[in-house]
């Protein structure tokens, strides 16, 4: 017979021990979706919030909850707990789990389940939950229903430590999602008493590093025709490496490395040119490049030596299976640093950088003069009143964002426009590029906004801007629902509305398929009234159809959540 539990509910006692240990281990954010089987976890989390030990975020949709947790974890640098009930609730976390797996984001899923005796008998809301996410989890533990035994408290604390270590890559270089599948028997909850639980004071410093320190770096010697490519997840170390070796830096807009004197923002055009891309002999690739075709084409070309650098992860970027060296970190050796000062190296770098700048300066949209209070010519006034174009939109959003802000891109046509056009700037940029899906884009941005704004100034004083297309917003419209009583994010959702998925217009299929078929099954036109959508969810709304309206809306964003609709031509 099981021993009696302290509260009268073994589920509650186990939840107190488990969540209490997670708090001691540094967890600060818990995202939960309601459900009967997970009620003990939910009620303990509510009590921890009341005591000021965690930030609790409640969402009715598990898919939205999962991507909210991704945004919180990306910005805070800490693992985030996601709590849900059994059945399809668990399955709804799958898109977020896959994104976290491929992006190396530390999520800890606490999925409630039926005990053994209720499995396999068609019990309501019961399915096979252990292993549901397959190889996407770093750790999956099916935890038997607690019975109120004293040793279960120790088991819960050890389980929390194992989950934290696996999710953060503490003993490896592979942070990512973890599933603790927790079976509970009735009584499913009791009164929560945390008076005997020793908890640390709540501290929430600047983002912390969750992955282990890298091992000894691979040294890279001097060599001709070298470029540094920075994809998503590269960070400032890619810029520092390129600068140390005197090499051109081809940095995607979501790389976190799109700044510095070596930046080649117009890298796509140059990679297509024989006098630039045709002369590349070695590429050092950071992170996960996903925004161009030119980079994979370069890396699959004969005669290009490739080194791929990724600080974490279980998969390596390896187009065409041609990568020679994989490294967790790299450093330019003495020969490379010395060679950076030679005439040959300066000419190689200078041609890339100067030609890139000339290409960007030659864009008519980017050359449009900014707003001037007086002395405008007719041409300038006409430019301010002209309809907004995609280049104009991405340029205006980029110019309006600063280091204390956060900029999030959806997997829409606009991120590619930004990658093609915007200049260098050291600002925090994020995009879910693990699988480059449109799932949960709004939820991720909400998480980033809440985590960044919870920190001290100046980090906590900025605005988070999300730039995405109309279909990406509609796909995650449910994440606009914010829970009363919780902090409201300073988030400006900027939706480029061209009435459908115009990204398909640029694919090869547009030249071969009937236009009506493309419109029906790819472009998927929509006629949403975004003003009504904003009103339904309680968000402020504004529309900007001209450059003047756009710049004013970006420089004076509302203090809370808002939607800025920008109509665009197909």
- pLDDT number for residue 172: 79
User: Is residue 422, in this structure, part of any structural domain at all?
Assistant: yes
Q: How far is CA 485 from CA 271, 419, 449, 462, 482, in A?
A: 51, 38, 17, 22, 9
Question: What is the per-residue pLDDT across 208-256, written as a single tens digit (0 to 9) for each?
Answer: 555 555 578 999 999 999 999 999 999 999 999 999 999 999 999 999 9
* Reported confidence tier of residue 458, pLDDT bands at 50, 70, 90: low
**Cβ pair 248, 352 in contact under 8 A:** yes
Structure tokens at 183: 């079976």
Tell me the CATH number at 120. 3.40.50.970
In terms of DSSP bridges, do strands 282-286 and 107-113 run parallel, antiparallel, or are they unpaired?
unpaired
Are 357 and 396 in the same domain? no
Q: Is residue 206 part of a domain?
A: no
Q: How many domains does the chain have?
A: 3
Look at residues 333, 361, 389 and tell me which one is the last residue of a structural domain. 361
Dihedral over alpha carbons 204, 207, 212, 216 (to 10 degrees): -140
Give the residue from 309, 327, 361 where a domain finishes.
361
Q: What distance in Å separates the CA atoms of residue 338 and residue 198, rounded to the nearest whole number? A: 56
For range 117-146, the mean pLDDT: 91
Q: Quote the pTM value.
A: 0.92
Same domain, 116 and 247: no
> Is the pLDDT assigned to residue 364 strictly greater than 50?
no
Whether 558 is in a domain gets the answer: yes
Same domain assignment for residues 30 and 86: yes
Is 513 found in the same domain as 396? yes
Tens digit of pLDDT for each residue in 256-307? 999 999 999 999 999 999 999 999 999 999 999 999 999 999 999 999 999 9
Measured CA to CA, the distance from residue 1 to residue 256 in angstroms comes to 57
Whether residues 122 and 256 fall in one domain: no
402 and 548 in a single domain? The answer is yes
- Whole-number Å distance between alpha carbons of 35 and 56: 16
Residue 3 pLDDT grade (very low, low, confident, very high; cuts 50, 70, 90): very low
**Other residues' Cβ atoms within 10 Å of the Cβ of residue 357:** 16
Q: Residue 207 has what pLDDT?
A: 58
Residue-level pLDDT at 497: 96
Q: Which distant-in-sequence residues (6+ apart) come within 8 Å of 260 by Cβ?
A: 239, 242, 243, 249, 424, 426
Chain Cα centroid distance, residue 164 = 20
The pLDDT confidence band at residue 123, using thresholds 50, 70 and 90, is confident
Helix (H, G, I), strand (E, B) or coil at 234: coil
With a cut of 60, say whether residue 373 has pLDDT above it: no
Count of residues in the chain: 570
Q: Are residues 426 and 536 in the same domain?
A: yes
Flag whether 102 is in a domain: yes
Residue 385: predicted pLDDT: 77
pLDDT at residue number 521: 87
Strand, coil or helix: 363: coil
Measured CA to CA, the distance from residue 210 to residue 255 in angstroms comes to 19
- Is residue 38 included in any domain, yes or no? yes
5 occurs within a structural domain: no
Give CA–CA dist 543/566, Å, rounded: 6
Give the pLDDT score at 372: 43
> In this predicted model, what pLDDT tens digit does every residue of 500-542 receive, in sequence order?
888 887 778 888 889 888 888 888 889 999 999 999 999 999 9
Mean pLDDT of 321-349: 95
**Closest among 485, 453, 359 to 72, alpha carbons compared:** 453
Give phi and psi for 306, each to the nearest 5: -125, 130
Query: Quick one: pLDDT at residue 195?
Result: 87
Model confidence over 139-159: pLDDT tens digits?
999 999 999 999 999 999 999
Strand order in the sheet with 562-567: 429-430, 406-409, 464-469, 491-497, 562-567, 540-543
- 176 lies in which domain range? 10-183
Percent of the chain with pLDDT over 90: 79
Is residue 212 a part of any domain in this protein? no
Q: What is the mean pLDDT of residues 331-342?
A: 96
Q: For residues 432-436, give the mean pLDDT.
A: 93
**Segment 542-569 mean pLDDT:** 96
Query: Of 1 and 272, which is predicted with more confidence?
Result: 272
Helix (H) or strand (E) run with residue 91 in it = helix 88-91
Determine the pLDDT at residue 508: 82
pLDDT at 212: 56
Report residue 315's pLDDT band, with 50, 70 and 90 as the boundaries.
confident
- Residue 300: which CATH number? 3.40.50.1220
* 121 and 56 in a common domain: yes
For the stretch 178-187, what's the b/e string if a residue is b when 16 or more beta carbons lie within 10 angstroms of its beta carbon?
Answer: bbbbbbbbee
pLDDT tens digits for 321-330?
999 999 999 9
Do 276 and 235 share a structural domain? yes
DSSP three-state, residue 83: strand
- Residues 70-110: pLDDT tens digits? 999 999 999 999 999 999 999 999 999 999 999 999 999 99
Q: Are 240 and 332 in contact, with CB atoms under 8 Å apart? A: no
Angle 67-251-340 from CA coordinates, rounded to 5°? 145
Rounded Cα–Cα distance for residues 510 and 512 (Å):
6
Cβ pair 102, 436 in contact under 8 A: no
Regarding whether 91 and 164 lie in a shared domain, the answer is: yes
Q: Which two tokens stand for residue 85?
A: 């009930």
- Residues 460, 501 share a domain: yes
Rounded to an integer, what distance in angstroms lies between the CA atom of residue 108 and that of residue 137? 9
Determine the pLDDT at residue 1: 31
Q: How many CB atoms lie within 10 A of CB 198?
A: 7
Over the stretch 20-69, which tens digit does the pLDDT of each residue have?
A: 999 999 999 999 999 999 999 999 999 999 999 999 999 999 999 999 99
Residue 306 inside a domain? The answer is: yes
Q: Lowest mean pLDDT of 193-197, 380-384, 533-537, name the range.
A: 380-384
Tokens of residue 562, six digits:
């808002």
Which of 142, 143, 117, 145 shows the shortest CA–CA distance to 130?
142
Instruction: Identify the DSSP state of 518.
Output: H
Q: Last residue of a domain, which of 335, 361, 387?
A: 361
pLDDT value of residue 561 = 98
Same domain, 114 and 254: no
């Amino acid at each position: 017979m099981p021993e009696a539990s302290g509260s009268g509910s073994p589920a509650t006692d186990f939840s107190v021990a488990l969540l209490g240990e997670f708090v001691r281990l540094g967890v600060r954010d818990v995202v939960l979706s309601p459900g009967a089987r997970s009620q003990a976890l939910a009620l303990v989390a509510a009590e921890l919030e009341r005591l000021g030990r965690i930030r609790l975020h409640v969402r009715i949709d598990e898919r939205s909850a999962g991507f909210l947790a991704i945004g919180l974890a990306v910005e805070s640098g800490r693992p985030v707990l996601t709590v849900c009930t059994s059945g399809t609730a668990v399955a709804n976390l799958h898109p977020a789990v896959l994104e976290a797996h491929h992006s190396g984001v530390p999520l800890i899923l606490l999925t409630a389940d039926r005990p053994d005796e209720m499995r396999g008998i068609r019990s309501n809301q019961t399915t096979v939950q252990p292993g549901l996410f397959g190889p996407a989890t770093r750790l999956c533990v099916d935890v038997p229903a607690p019975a109120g035994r004293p040793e279960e408290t120790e088991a819960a604390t050890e389980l929390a430590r194992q989950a934290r270590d696996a999710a953060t890559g503490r003993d490896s270089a592979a942070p990512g999602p973890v599933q603790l599948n927790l079976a509970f028997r009735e009584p499913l909850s009791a009164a929560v008493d945390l008076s005997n639980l020793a908890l640390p004071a709540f501290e929430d410093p600047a983002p912390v590093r969750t992955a282990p320190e890298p091992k000894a770096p691979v040294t890279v010697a001097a060599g001709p025709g070298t470029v540094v490519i920075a994809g998503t997840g590269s960070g400032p170390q890619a810029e520092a490496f390129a600068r140390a070796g005197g090499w051109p830096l081809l940095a995607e807009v979501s790389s976190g490395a799109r700044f510095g004197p070596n930046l080649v923002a117009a890298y796509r055009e140059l990679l297509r040119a024989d006098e630039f891309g045709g002369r590349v002999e070695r590429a050092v690739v950071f992170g996960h490049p996903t925004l161009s075709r030119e980079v994979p084409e370069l890396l699959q070309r004969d005669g290009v030596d490739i080194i791929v650098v990724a600080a974490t992860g279980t998969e390596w970027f390896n187009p065409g299976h041609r990568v020679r060296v994989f490294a967790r970190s790299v450093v330019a050796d003495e020969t490379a640093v010395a060679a950076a000062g030679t005439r040959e190296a300066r000419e190689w770098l200078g041609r890339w950088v100067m030609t890139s700048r000339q290409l960007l300066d030659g864009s008519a949209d980017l050359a449009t003069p900014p707003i001037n209070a007086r002395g405008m010519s007719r041409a300038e006034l006409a430019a301010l009143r002209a309809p907004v174009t995609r280049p104009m939109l991405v340029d205006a959003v980029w110019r309006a964002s600063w280091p204390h802000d956060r900029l999030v891109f959806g997997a829409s046509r606009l991120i590619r426009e930004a990658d093609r056009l915007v200049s260098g700037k050291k600002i925090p940029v994020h995009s879910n590029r693990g699988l480059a899906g449109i799932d949960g884009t709004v939820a991720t941005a909400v998480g980033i906004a809440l985590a960044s704004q919870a920190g001290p100034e100046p980090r906590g004083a900025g605005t988070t801007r999300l730039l995405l297309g109309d279909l990406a917003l509609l796909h995650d419209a449910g994440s606009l629902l914010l829970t009363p009583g919780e902090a409201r994010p300073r988030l400006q959702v900027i939706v480029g509305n061209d009435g459908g998925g115009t990204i398909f217009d640029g694919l090869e299929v547009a030249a071969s398929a009937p236009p009506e078929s493309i419109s029906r099954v790819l472009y998927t036109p929509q006629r949403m009234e975004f003003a009504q959508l904003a009103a339904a969810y309680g968000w402020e709304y504004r529309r900007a159809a001209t450059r003047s309206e756009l710049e004013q809306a970006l420089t004076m964003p509302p203090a809370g959540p808002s939607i800025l609709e920008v109509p665009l031509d197909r």
